[in-house]
Amino acid sequence: QVQLQESGPGLVKPSQTLSLTCSVSGVSISSSDYYWSWIRQAPGTGLEWIGYIHGSGTTHYNPSFESRLIISMDTSKNHFSLKLTSVTDGDTGLYYCVRSHLRPSLRYFDIWGQGTQVTVSS
Amino acid sequence: EIVLTQSPGTLSLSPGERATLSCRASQSVGTIYLAWYQQKPGQAPRLLIYGASTRATGIPDRFIGSGSGTDFTLTISRLEPEDFAVYYCQQYSGSLPWTFGQGTKVEI
C-alpha cells in the first residue's frame, strides 16, 4: 500500500525559505514509472500544482514558482523535498505531496498525502 | 496555461436528487486528460474519475463522468449523504502546468 506523508515547519517568516519533505512508503521513488509532485491549496488560489520530480531526477516546475523553487529527492531515504525561497503571505496554505504515473493517460493524481499546513508570518 | 472554469460555484440539493457539475477548459484537453476529485472538510482530495469517464477504484457507479475537448460533466445520479463535498476538475494534458478548476460545492 503506497502512502505519502508530508513534514516540515508549520510557521515560516516572510522572506525566508520554506522546506518540506514527503516520505514515501510502499514504492521506490526512483522508479521510472512515477512523477512525484507538490500541490498547494490556499483560500484565494484553490488547488495549484507546484511542480514534480521524476524518478530519474528530472524536474518540471509551474512557471508561477519556477524562479524560487527547487524540488529534489533522496533515494536512500525514499523521500522528496520542496524548497521555496523568499516566501510571502501568499505562500500560506496547505501543501500536499502526490503521485502520478509517467504514462500520459495516467498522469492524474492517484495518491495524496494528508497535507501539511504552512503559515507565513512574522 | 489551460484555465478550467467550474460551474455552478455552489449546488444546493437534497439526498436522492441528481447533481450535474460542469467543467469548461480554455482550450482542448483532449478526450482523456481530465480528472475529477472529491474533497471533504479536513481531508485531502480523493480521485473519483480519470480519463474523463473512468471511475477510480472503489468509486460507486452513481458517479458518472462525461465530455471531451473543452466541456466536461460530472453527474451524481442520486445524492447520498456522504456525497456532500467540494468537487474539483483537473487537466493533465501535455500542456503544463497541470491545472485545477476552482471547485463546486455540493451542499444540502
Residue-wise pLDDT for B98-107, tens only, equals: 999 999 999 9
Helix, strand, or coil here: B59? coil
Query: In chain B, what percentage of residues exceed pLDDT 70?
Result: 100
Question: What is the least distance, in Å, from the CA of A108 to any CA of chain B?
Answer: 6
* Cα–Cα distance for residue pair B83/B89, rounded to 1 Å: 16
User: Shortest CB distance from B47 goes to which of A49, A109, A113?
Assistant: A109
Helix, strand, or coil here: B19? strand
Read off the pLDDT of residues B25-63 as tens digits, 9 standing for 90 and up.
999 998 889 999 999 999 999 999 999 999 999 999 999
Average pLDDT over residues B2-31: 95
Mean pLDDT of chain A: 96
* Cα–Cα distance for residue pair A40/A115, rounded to 1 Å: 9
pLDDT attached to residue A49: 97
pLDDT attached to residue A44: 77
* Cα–Cα distance for residue pair A88/A17, rounded to 1 Å: 10
Average pLDDT over residues A50-66: 96
Q: Do A105 and B51 touch (CB under 8 A)?
A: yes
* Residue A46 binned pLDDT confidence (cut-offs 50, 70, 90): confident
Helix (H) or strand (E) holding B64: strand B63-68
pLDDT attached to residue B94: 84
* Cα–Cα distance for residue pair B69/B33, rounded to 1 Å: 9
Average pLDDT over residues B10-25: 97
Give the CA distances from residue A3 to residues A26, A29, A113, B48, in Å, rounded to whole numbers and listed in that order.
6, 12, 7, 18
Which residue's entry shows cell 525559505? A17
Question: Chain B partners of A107 at a C-beta cutoff of 8 Å?
Answer: 33, 92, 98
Q: Is A101 on the interface with B (CB under 8 A)?
A: no
* Residue A73 binned pLDDT confidence (cut-offs 50, 70, 90): very high
Question: What is the least distance, in Å, from the CA of B101 to any CA of chain A?
Answer: 8
DSSP single-letter state for residue B56 = P
* Residue A43 binned pLDDT confidence (cut-offs 50, 70, 90): confident
Average pLDDT over residues A14-30: 97
A118 Cβ contact partners less than 8 Å away, ≥ 6 residues apart: A8, A9, A10, A11, A12, A18, A20, A91, A92, A93, A94, A95
Q: Is B30 on the interface with A (CB under 8 A)?
A: no
Query: In chain B, what percentage of residues exceed pLDDT 90?
Result: 94
B49 Cβ contact partners less than 8 Å away, ≥ 6 residues apart: B35, B36, B55, B56, B59, B63, B65, B74
pLDDT attached to residue A96: 98
pLDDT attached to residue B26: 96
| Strands A116-120, A11-12: pairing kind | parallel
